[in-house]
Every structure is written in C-alpha cells, then in structure tokens.
Chain A
C-alpha cells in the first residue's frame, strides 16, 4: 500500500516542484543566517580594535588630565554572539548587540541605535524561522488540500472505499507519506544549518527543532480537519489559504496593532528631555544644588572638596550624574511598559501557534525583546562599575600614565537563557491533539 501511494505521490508535479522550491528557499535562508552571524562576529572584532586604537590615541592627547580623557573614552559592552541567532534573527537587526559608552550620563547614550536600512527591516529577514513559520505550512497545504477530494473528483474514491478495509486508514497513510516528505525537507535543512552555521548540539538547538516539529504537526492537524469535512478541492484550497492568511498575517498583525496602540511609550521622549535638562540646566545653578544631590547618591565621595569659583571635574561629573538621576523614573517606567508589551504579546500567543512559534524561536535564539532588555541591564551594571572605578581617580587627579589602559577591552555580556519546555511546547501540543481528535471524530463514519 505505502509503495503505491509513494509512487503516485512523487509523480505529482506540483508536489515535487513545491518541495524543491521549499528546500531551495530554506538553503538560502540558512546562508542569510550565516551572513548575519559573520557580520555580528566581524563587528565584535572591530569593536575590539577600535576601542584599543581610540584609547591609545586619546591617552596620547590628554595625558595630563584624567577627567578630560574620560570625557572622550568609550567602553564597549558586547553581547556574546550565539550562532543559533542565525536561525531566527528576530529583533537583533533592530536592536544593537554592541554598545559603546563614556562614563558620562548613560541615559543619553543607552538607546543609540545601529545603522540599518529601513526597507530591509520592513521586509524582514528571510531566516530559517521565517521559512518554517510561513512557507512550510504553505507547502503542506499544497500537498494535502486535495488528499480526499482528488479521489472523489477523479471518481476513484468508491473504488478505494470498496477495496480497502479501512478508508480512514488509507487516508491516514496517504497523509503520512506527504507529511513525511515535508519533515524530510525540515531534517535536511536542520542538518545543513548545523554544518553551515556550526551550531553546537545542545538543549537550545533541540528545543528549536522540537518546536519546529510540533509547529508543523499543528498545521498537519489543521489541514487534516479541513480534509475531514470532505468538501471539494477548491473549497479546501481556499479555506486553508484563508486560515494561513489569518494565522500568519491578519491575527498577529492585528494583535501587534492592538499592543502598540494600547501601550504607547511616551516615556521614551520624556526620558530624553529630562536627561538633557537634568544635566545641562545645572550649569546655571549654584554648585551646591548638584553636589548635595550627588553626595546623597554617593556619600563615599563627600570627602572630596568642590572648588567654589572654578570648574572642577567633580562638579562636572556630578552634573552628568544628575541627567541620569533625574530621568531615572521615566526610564524605569519605559522599561516597565516595554516589558508589559512583551508580557501581553506572549499571553495572547498561547492561543495562536504562529505567534507562539515566532516568539519561542526568538527566545531560544536569544533575539527577543527581553534579551535586549537584559542586555541593557548589563549595560547599566557595567556603566556603574566604570563610574565607581574612575570617579575617585578623577577626583584625586590620578595620573593618566599610571593606569594600565591596555586592560580596558570590550566587555562581554553573557546573557543566559533557560529554556522553559512547558511554555515552549504545551500550546502547540494541546492544539494539535484537540484538532486531530475532532478530525478523527469527523471521519469515523467515512
């Protein structure tokens, strides 16, 4: 039985064409992921040499004034590269993975973006995640929409119904052969990805593969339920394509509109203005205004005297600190709102497998929004460390040449993501099982 079904399947032109196309686009997507990974790694190396060079040059020019030198020096924080990102680039193209900051006010530097072509951002990355979420279901629809109806329309169904013991079993076998081919393409693509992107075999990769497999299982069940209504081919094609549009375009996009409109983030602009005013306005105020607040923030520096009638770095960095301190509330609020957006999206995604697959892929590949927020937390910490290290030295006018500048290499932020298996697979398993059960119920009396 299987061999006949197998032969009849590979003879269908449209099936072969669509599978080959899928494989082709899949391979391209792996290379796009590779290109992205290479660009990221190159940028990290450049960050290292750029920082070394720029520190060297500035130390040469400003070797008598540590306060002035640190006005210029930029220190980079680099997100550890993760080859899995190449599979699902997610928000990594929008949010930077390298941030270079001076010890001056952080809020004015923290949100600086990378340069990227907005047309490319709009069209989105053609990564393997995209191929799995969008194109695999399409091919699956092409392969299965006429599973039953072609027999009916070709007048072969009655023959089958009389000659096989269980017509349901026949349909099931026919379906499994078609789905089998789709999974073969998936396996080939993952193997290629492992080789080309040099993916380490670990839990994250396993999770990515399991989510992909389950996501396709969900679509298989969806195709099967439509088949189980035993309508004609045109109806099936139209219904399945409509479902595809609703699930991959209309629903997620509408929910995105909803989230963006329900939770606007005016705190972004508020933080910008408050940061500027918090720092710059201090130039026109009495020094005590700044210093009282600064010493309240850092009591350990009270011991340093502030010259009354002339400029001092203590006062200057105190003013810079005020930019951060006075925009702190808005900045926190901004973060809370962004997290809220993430939370709401994730909650809704439990009911919508496409959204769920996309968000889970991004989480596993560490290219999600939350990963970027964690990166910014690392930046906060690193910036504070730099300040605490350099502040006393500046205030004591520590000689520039006594510092070992070679030690200041870009710091790597390692953000650990633990995979939540239940959250990752439960929604997909649940929906697949429910839909499959209904399909079998529909077909029990075929």
Chain B
C-alpha cells in the first residue's frame, strides 16, 4: 500500500462530497442541531445545579439555625440530598431525567428519591432528548452512512472502479483511502462538537474544571473516534459489497434502524420481561415482615430487645437502665437503626441486582453492537448512567445512616437516663459540627471497570474492521 495513493483516494472522497448541494443543506442542519443541543445541555446544567445548590444551602442553613434541643428531634428534623449534575452531563443526558433528584433523609426511614424530571414531564419525554451525545450516537452514524453509501458502489456503477484498478491502484489502497476519507469527514463534524463541549465545560457555573473531568472528557473523545472509525469501515464495506448505490443505501439504512433504534429497545424490554420486579408495596411489606422478625424496639415486652437489655445491664454490672453510664434510649435506637438499615439495604440490593439482570442482556449485546457499547461508555463517563445513579443513592443512604447514628451517640453521651425537671437538650453547636451532605461522583477507575465490556467491544470491533477490510480487499471483484 502506498501512502500517497491512500491519501489521494481520501481527498477524492472529500471533493465529491463537498461538490454535492445536499451536503451544504445537511451541514447547515447539523450545525443548528449541534448549537441547539449544546446550548440546551449547558442551560439545563446551570439551571438545575443552581436550583439544587440553592436549596441544599437553604436546607443546611435551616439545619444549623436550630436551637438547643434533644438530639433525637434533630434526627427526625433530618436533612436533604439533592443530586448535583456532573459537568459532562451537559454533553450526555443519559438517564438523568428518569432518576430522582431529591431525597429527604431522616432517622428510621429510607425515603424514595423523588422529583425526577420524567415525573414532571408530559409524554413527550418518550421521544428522547436532544443532547450532543445523542447527535453523535444516533444521528452521526446515519450521516456517515449517507455520506459514504456511494463511495464504492457509485464508482462501480459508473465503471470508474475498473479504470482505477487498471491504472494500478490496489484494492486495499482504495479501501483504506475511502475509509480514511469518510472517517475524516466524520471528524469534520465531530471536532466542532468536542470543542464546544470543552468550551461549555469551562463556561459552566460552579467549580473550575478538574483533572478527573478532563480525563473523562478525553476518554470520551477516544471512544467516539473508535466508534466513528468502525462506522466508517462498515459503510465502505457495505458500499463495496453492493452492486448499486441504491442497494448500498437501503442496506445501510436497514442496519441503522435495526442496530440503533429497534434492537436496544427490544432487548431492554425483553430483559424486563424475563426478570420481573416486585411492586413497591410488595417490597415494603417484605421489609416490614423482616423487621418484625427482628423485634420491635417500641414494645417493652419484646423478647429480642429484652435480651439486649439484659446483656447490657450485665456487661455494665448494673441493675437498672437508670444506672447505666450512657443514655439507654439512645443506645436502643442505635441498635434498632443498625438492624433496620441493614435489612432495608439487603432488600434494596436484591432489587438492584434484579435491575442489573434486566439490563444485562442489553449491556452484553455491546459485543455485537458497537452502538450499545458507545452508548454505555458515553453515559458512564458523563456521570449519567445507572451506576452513577446507584452511587448517589448509596451515598445518600450512607449519609442518612451517619446522621441518625451521630444523633443517637450524642443522646447516649449527653442525655441523662433519669428524667429531670429541665428538658433534656444539648448545645446547638453540635448541629454545625455535623457536616452537610456532599455528593462525590464515581472515580474514573471504577467507571473503567464498570464499562470494561463496552470498551473491549469497541477495541475488538476496531481491530475486526481493519482485518475484514484487508481480507475483503483481497477478494472483491471489480464488477
């Protein structure tokens, strides 16, 4: 293969493409779409984070302004966790609008994460959203197909292919040249998108850009380059194997529809069909039944809690709870919080495992479907995928638990066992001492681990497309 010839073919593809009028219209449309998607992602990021930060501070301020009081009142006063968006969520909205945004955190009770954008939306949300990533994942492949369907098929139809071969070009030169040309056309549209994304990341309100965000950004760029490479070679392949340009176009459109629109949705629906989940009521009654088995801390005759009481009295060598060196009520509540939280989390984890099984089929199809691979990589590194959401849920629950237990231990330490004339309160400085909820996004390493399969799929597909292009170029006939 001669480099100069490959570049010549690549250039030729550029020239024929840019000569067509339809391309100019397409370019205008794509530019408008990119501008709209970028602006709307940025606007949404700023607005939502501004709102969530504002109320997080508001709620915190109100927490700190509480007077001296009994710590258990504060455990019920509770706190909130509002889910902050990752900066890259302006690039890929992922499933964020379907996940809850706000949860009230209080002692004894795990509340649901409420107010997802979906719950406030009309049926329109079903049509999806326009984000930069959506354009790259769904519209760009179609664009590449459209720019490349005739790359070889038209040459064959016009008999120019024969002339090229006769003049000494080899098949692999034509193949790699055309693929390279198509790939660079894709880059022509892709580069503005990545520049705009970076620009908006810098312009976004809030903290300055971090190195982890930049790392995620570069991984995204790399993955998309691989994806477009794969799509370009598929296009050239189909174009080479089709007799006419029309045939090639119809095949490519079919591939697009099947692999991008129909297959992922059908597989997800199938997964849901295979692994049904309990209704909320069923879930709650299972949890409640398990809790009852563990005993009732409110019931003075409960065997389980009586046993705890006896062993505590024995261990401290006293005869009644009044003589204990710590507040007995606080102690019992900390025990009961520990038990109920662990039961709840156990069932929640079961539920999450079922969700993962439901998702597994669609996720594994990434091996066969590069679109699925890039879809998951893109969401994961933009902090808008399933794992990111679960991460938020875990952090919120963890904070809730710490809050409840901190208040219990304050009660054990400072509240006397015997009722006194003055109400039992502790100093308000304790409220400020307990830190506010802070949401940390997943570290890059764990995302890499989560998405190993999708990344592997993209790499395999890239290698495979090079091999196939090489193989086919030895076999293809001119006519």
Contacts and interface: CB of A to CB of B under 8 A. Distances in A.
A118 B279 contact: no
B265 A284 contact: no
Interface string B268-299: 11011100111111111100100010001011
A118 B249 CA distance: 35
Contacts of B299: 61
B389 A118 contact: yes
Nearest to B257: A138
B362 interface: yes
Contacts of A113: 100, 112-114, 116, 119
B119 A276 contact: no
A94 B119 contact: yes
A272 B118 contact: no
B279 A42 contact: yes
B142 to A, nearest CB: 7
B272 to A, nearest CB: 5
A96 B280 contact: yes
A43 B44 CA distance: 36
A288 interface: no
Interface stretch (A165-173, A210-218, A338-346, A438-446): A338-346
Given A61-B296, A234-B249, A261-B40, A272 B122 contact: no
Contacts of B44: 257, 260-261
Nearest to A369: B122
B459 interface: no
Interface residue SS majority, chain A? helix
Interface string A98-142: 101000000010011111111111111110001000110010000
Contact of A253 (B58, B122, B130, B266): B130
A126 B97 CA distance: 19
Nearest to B265: A123
A410 to B, nearest CB: 10
A273 interface: yes
Contacts of A302: none
A9 interface: no
Contacts of B367: none
B202 to A, nearest CB: 20
A61 B129 CA distance: 51
Interface string A226-252: 000000111001100100010011101
A125 B269 contact: yes
A267 to B, nearest CB: 10
A122 B98 contact: yes
B338 interface: no
Given A125-B269, A284-B69, A369-B123, A46 B249 contact: no
A358 B104 contact: no
Nearest to B266: A126
Interface centre among A39, A121, A123, A253 (most CB of B within 10 A): A123
B121 interface: yes
B160 to A, nearest CB: 18
A345 B40 CA distance: 17
A354 interface: yes
B269 A119 contact: no
Contact of A277 (B62, B69, B111): B62
B122 A345 contact: yes
B351 interface: yes
B109 to A, nearest CB: 11
A273 B282 contact: no
B127 A355 contact: yes
Interface residues of A, number: 91
Contacts of B115: 111, 265, 268-269
A358 B130 contact: no
Given A264-B51, A266-B55, A358-B123, A117 B355 contact: yes
B138 interface: yes
Chain B binding site: helix, strand, loop or mixed by DSSP? helix
Interface string B48-82: 10011011001100100011010001001110101
B47 interface: yes
Nearest to A358: B123
B127 A272 contact: no
Given A90-B123, A94-B98, A269-B51, A234 B246 contact: yes
Contacts of B111: 112
B373 interface: no
A30 to B, nearest CB: 12
A396 to B, nearest CB: 24
A266 B51 contact: yes
B468 interface: no
A133 to B, nearest CB: 9
A432 interface: no
A397 interface: no
A90 B122 CA distance: 9
Contact of B249 (A28, A130, A237, A354): A237
Contacts of B117: 260
B62 A264 contact: no
A138 B258 CA distance: 11
Residue of A50, A100, A272 with highest tally of chain B CB at under 10 A: A272
A119 B95 contact: yes
Given A249-B128, A265-B120, A119 B249 contact: no
Contacts of A112: 111-112, 114
Interface in A317-368: 338, 341-342, 345-346, 354-355, 358-359, 361-362, 367-368
Interface in B89-113: 94-95, 97-102, 104, 111-113
A78 to B, nearest CB: 10
A54 interface: yes
Given A119-B358, A273-B62, A368 B296 contact: no
B269 A32 contact: yes
Given A43-B282, A258-B40, A341-B122, A283 B73 contact: yes
Nearest to B376: A119
A332 to B, nearest CB: 15
B137 to A, nearest CB: 12
A95 B119 contact: yes
Contact of A124 (B58, B99, B253, B265): B265
Nearest to B78: A276
Nearest to B69: A284
B264 interface: yes
Given A121-B98, A259-B121, A268-B120, 17 more contacts: A25-B266, A111-B115, A113-B114, A115-B112, A115-B280, A118-B386, A249-B138, A253-B129, A256-B125, A257-B40, A269-B55, A269-B115, A272-B104, A273-B62, A341-B121, A345-B124, A354-B127
Interface of A: 25, 28, 31-32, 35, 39, 42-43, 46-47, 50, 53-54, 57, 61, 90-91, 94-96, 98, 100, 108, 111-126, 130, 134-135, 138, 232-234, 237-238, 241, 245, 248-250, 252-261, 264-266, 268-270, 272-273, 276-277, 280-281, 283-284, 338, 341-342, 345-346, 354-355, 358-359, 361-362, 367-369
Interface of B: 33, 36-37, 40, 43-44, 47-48, 51-52, 54-55, 58-59, 62, 66-67, 69, 73, 76-78, 80, 82, 94-95, 97-102, 104, 111-130, 134, 138-139, 142, 146, 245-246, 249-250, 253, 257, 261-262, 264-266, 268-269, 271-273, 276-285, 288, 292, 296, 298-299, 351, 355, 358-359, 362, 386, 389
- Ranked nearest first, the 9 interchain pairs of A and B with the lowest CB-CB distance are A252-B127, A43-B279, A121-B98, A123-B268, A269-B55, A122-B95, A126-B269, A268-B115, A117-B355
